Amino acid sequence: MGLMRTETEVFLSPALRTGRRLPYTLELVRHGGFWVGVNTLTPNRLLRLAWETGIMPELAGYDHFRSEARIGESRLDAFLSNARETLWIETKNVTLVEDDVACFPDAVTLRGQKHLRELTALARKGHRTACFFLIQRPDARCFAPADFIDPDFAALLHEAVEKGVEVWPYQAVVSTEGIGLGARLPFKKT
């Protein structure tokens, strides 16, 4: 929301898969003097890389990582396990910032609501669960659900946290050279 304007500078990457409908992928959008990452696959890729390199303390101690793990009628973005426990994770790409607060979602998301219900149900059964919010812009100081856009998602996120779902809002370091993992930001609950 608010990023794509006429004559906005963008950064594209060539499509790696032949036969795609479009020959390029929109990666970054120039906004307010900085780049914003808009590729929704980036959070999944960065989460896996963070696990492989050990740069995220929340992922320490897990031996196995499976992407797009099936649970019930849908899939969650990641499933980690070790001999003692499992960890289910859903990732979200955050591009909206209002008054220094990174907000998700930027549009009503029935799919996101469904994922929160699934994470909450798993948490109630004793599984460790988390939602990884990758904030792909540098102007946020904290994270909160966008209750002014999707009040149902916001209510479900607050309920999920009460039931034990962890919220991991991380700021990305975004440039045309690549995207890295920055600092974890505070979660503004109200």
- pLDDT tens-place string over residues 67-113: 999 987 778 999 999 999 999 999 999 999 999 999 999 999 999 99
Strand ranges of the sheet holding 34-37, from the earlier edge strand across to the other edge: 10-14, 24-31, 34-37
* Helix/strand/coil for 160: helix
pLDDT tens digit sequence for 119-142: 999 999 999 999 999 999 999 999
pLDDT tens digit sequence for 144-173: 999 999 999 999 999 999 999 999 999 999
Does the pLDDT of residue 4 top 70, yes or no? no
Percent of the chain scored above 90 by pLDDT? 79
Joined together, the tokens standing for residue 137 give: 């812009």
Q: In this predicted structure, which of 4-18, 30-44, 93-107 has the lowest mean pLDDT? A: 4-18
Residues 6 or more apart whose Cβ sits within 8 Å of residue 149:
1, 103, 105, 106, 107, 108
| Residue extents of the structural domains in the chain | 15-184
Q: Which fold has domain 15-184?
A: Trna Endonuclease; Chain: A, domain 1 (3.40.1350)
Higher pLDDT, 148 or 15: 148
The predicted pLDDT at position 97 comes to 95
